[in-house]
Amino acid sequence: MREDLNSWDELLPEALPTPCFVVDEDRLLANLAILSSVQQHTGAKILLALKGFAMFSVFPLLRRVLHGVCASSPHEARLGREEFGGEVHVFAAAYSEDDIHELALLADHLVFNSFAQRDRFLEPARDCAAKAGRSLAFGLRVNPEHSEGAVPLYDPCSPGSRLGIRSVVFAGRALSDISGLHFHTLCEQDAAPLARTLAVIERTFGEFLPGMRWLNIGGGHHITRPGYDLPLLCRCITRMRDAYGLDVYIEPGEAVALNAGVLVSTVLDVVEADMPVALLDSSASAHMPDVLEMPYRPEVIHAGKPGEKSWTCRLAGKSCLAGDVIGEYSFAAPLQAGDRLIFLDMAHYTMVKTTTFNGLALPGIALVENGSRALRMVRRFGYEDFKTRLS
Ligand SMILES: *Cc1c(COP(=O)(O)O)cnc(C)c1O
C-alpha cells in the first residue's frame, strides 16, 4: 500500500450504507502516473480493458492518460464510445452478423479470432464502416502456444484453448487487409513472462511482423503493482517498435484499477460451526465472484491469517449457496453484528461481474474525490435493478 495516501479507515464515513464499493480517485491517479510514464518512455498506447473495470464516472479522469478502451462486445464498445472517447478496440472469440453491424459503427480496431470469421466479416464490416464515413483497422489474435504458468481457467495458451489462431493455421494464408496482430496470454504477471512470450511471438509469427503496422500485447500486465519491472516492460516495447516499426498497444484492466478500491461490508450475525462464522451483508458469489472462481482470499483491513490474532473465524456471504465463503481470518476481538469490514483491492473484476442471485442487493458505488477527498455516493441500486433483468 502506498504510504502517501490516506488509509481507507480515514476515508470512509461511519454512516456509509453497505455493501458498497468505494473507489479512490487519488489511488487511480497514482496508477495512471505509472502508466503515463510507460507511454512517455516507449510511445506505446495504453487502453483500458472494460472487461475488468468499467466504472464510467471515472472515465474523464482515466482519459487524461489512457488512449481509449478495449471492448469484448458491442455493449462494451458502445460504453467506450459514449463515455470514454478515444480509440475503441474490440476483440471477441466470435462475432455474430448483428455484432459486426453494431461494431462497424463503434470500433477503430476489430480483431478476429479465426480466419473463417475474417473471411466472413472483414468486407461487410469495412463496407458498413465506410458508409458511415469511418475507417476500421483489422487484426488477428494469435495464440503463441506458450503458457506462462497462469491458472488453467485464465490460460489462453492451454492445449484446448479456443482463443487465438495457432501458427500452423497461418501457413499459406495471405494477410492482406490485416494491419496488426494481437495476443493476450498473461494474467497478473510481471515483465519477464512478457519478454519470454515476445521471444516466442518473434520465433513463430516473426515473418508476418514486418508487414504489420501495429501489435497489441493484450492485458495481464501487472504494471502498477509495487516491484513490477517497468524498465523491462519498456525495453520489450521499444524492441518491437525498433525491430519491426510497429505501434504497440497495451490493454490492461486490472493494472488500471489495482488497489484503487474496496468493498465495505457489515457483519449481520455470527454463528457457530466448526469455528465461528461471521455472516456479512455482501457475498462472494454475487459481489466478488473471483474469490470463488480464481479462487483467492481477499485481504481484509485489521485482519490476520487464521490463528495470527486472538479470534479466528470464517467470513461468509449471505446467499443460500453453501460455498459462499470468503475465507478464514483472525481478529483482535470477536466480531459482532454491526461491525464493519473493509475488503481490499475490490475495484477490478467486481462491479463488472456482480449478480442479483438470491435477490441480493447490489453494492452501491461511491467515489473518494480527488482534491476535496470527500466521499460521493455515485450510484445505489434497488429493487428495480433486480426486477428489470427478469420478466
Ligand atoms: C481480459 C483481457 C484484457 C485485460 O486483462 P487484465 O488481466 O485485466 O489486464 C485485455 N485484453 C483482452 C483481450 C482480455 O481478454
pLDDT in tens, 83-102: 999 999 999 999 999 999 99
The reply to whether 247 and 289 lie within a common domain is no
Instruction: Show the domain range for 286.
Output: 8-21+261-346+354-387
Domain boundary among 257, 279, 310: 257
Per-residue model confidence (pLDDT) at position 95:
98
pLDDT at 1 over 90: no
Ligand 1 contact, 164 CB (< 6 A): no
The rounded Å distance from CA 112 to ligand 1 centre is 15
pLDDT at 170 over 90: yes
Ligand 1 contact, 91 CB (< 6 A): yes
Q: Does residue 198 sit within a domain?
A: yes
The reply to whether 90 and 211 lie within a common domain is yes
Q: Does residue 237 sit within a domain?
A: yes
Q: Does residue 195 sit within a domain?
A: yes
Per-residue model confidence (pLDDT) at position 153:
82
Per-residue model confidence (pLDDT) at position 214:
98
Q: Does residue 28 sit within a domain?
A: no
Per-residue model confidence (pLDDT) at position 150:
65
The rounded Å distance from CA 226 to ligand 1 centre is 20
The reply to whether 111 and 16 lie within a common domain is no
Share of the chain above pLDDT 90, in %: 95
What is the Cα gyration radius of the chain? 22
**In a mutational test of the pocket of ligand 1, which residue from 110, 112, 184 has the highest number of ligand atoms less than 8 Å from its CB?**
184
Domain count, the chain: 2
pLDDT at 135 over 80: yes
The mean pLDDT of the chain is 96
pLDDT at 171 over 80: yes
Per-residue model confidence (pLDDT) at position 2:
54
The reply to whether 287 and 205 lie within a common domain is no
The reply to whether 248 and 271 lie within a common domain is no
The reply to whether 123 and 145 lie within a common domain is yes
Q: Does residue 300 sit within a domain?
A: yes
Q: Is residue 359 a contact partner of residue 273, using CB atoms and an 8 Å limit? A: no
What is the average pLDDT across 64-88? 98
Q: Does residue 108 sit within a domain?
A: yes
The sign of the dihedral angle between the CA atoms of 250, 368, 317, 299 is: positive
Per-residue model confidence (pLDDT) at position 227:
98
The reply to whether 185 and 274 lie within a common domain is no
The rounded Å distance from CA 21 to ligand 1 centre is 21
Q: Checking DSSP bridges between strand 165-166 and strand 180-182, what pairing results, if any?
A: unpaired
Per-residue model confidence (pLDDT) at position 247:
98
CA 377 centroid distance within chain: 22
**In a mutational test of the pocket of ligand 1, which residue from 31, 48, 51 has the highest number of ligand atoms less than 8 Å from its CB?**
51
The reply to whether 239 and 277 lie within a common domain is no
Q: Could you report how far apart the first and last alpha carbons of the chain are, in Å?
A: 44
Tens-digit pLDDT profile for residues 209-260: 999 999 999 999 999 999 999 999 999 999 999 999 999 999 999 999 999 9
CA dist 351 and 105 (Å) reads: 27
> Domain containing 89 — which CATH number?
3.20.20.10
Per-residue model confidence (pLDDT) at position 91:
98
The rounded Å distance from CA 49 to ligand 1 centre is 6
Share of the chain above pLDDT 70, in %: 99
The reply to whether 242 and 269 lie within a common domain is no
What is the average pLDDT across 116-125? 98
What is the average pLDDT across 363-380? 96
Q: Does residue 1 sit within a domain?
A: no
The rounded Å distance from CA 254 to ligand 1 centre is 8
What is the average pLDDT across 306-318? 98
The reply to whether 195 and 302 lie within a common domain is no
Q: Which atom of ligand 1 is nearest to the CA of 51?
A: 1
Tens-digit pLDDT profile for residues 327-356: 999 999 999 999 999 999 999 999 999 999
Work out the burial of residue 323: count CB atoms within 10 Å of its CB; fewer than 13 is exposed, 13-18 middle, 19 or more buried: exposed
Domain boundary among 191, 222, 257: 257
**Cell matching residue 203:** 520465433
Res. 3 pLDDT band, cuts 50 70 90: low
The rounded Å distance from CA 120 to ligand 1 centre is 25
The reply to whether 195 and 331 lie within a common domain is no
What residues does 91 pair with on adjacent strands? 111
The reply to whether 12 and 55 lie within a common domain is no
Q: Does residue 100 sit within a domain?
A: yes
CA dist 2 and 27 (Å) reads: 9
> Domain containing 281 — which CATH number?
2.40.37.10
**Cell matching residue 29:** 491517479
Per-residue model confidence (pLDDT) at position 120:
98
Ligand 1 contact, 298 CB (< 6 A): no
What is the average pLDDT across 116-144? 98
Domain boundary among 238, 257, 276: 257
Helix (H) or strand (E) holding 48: strand 45-49
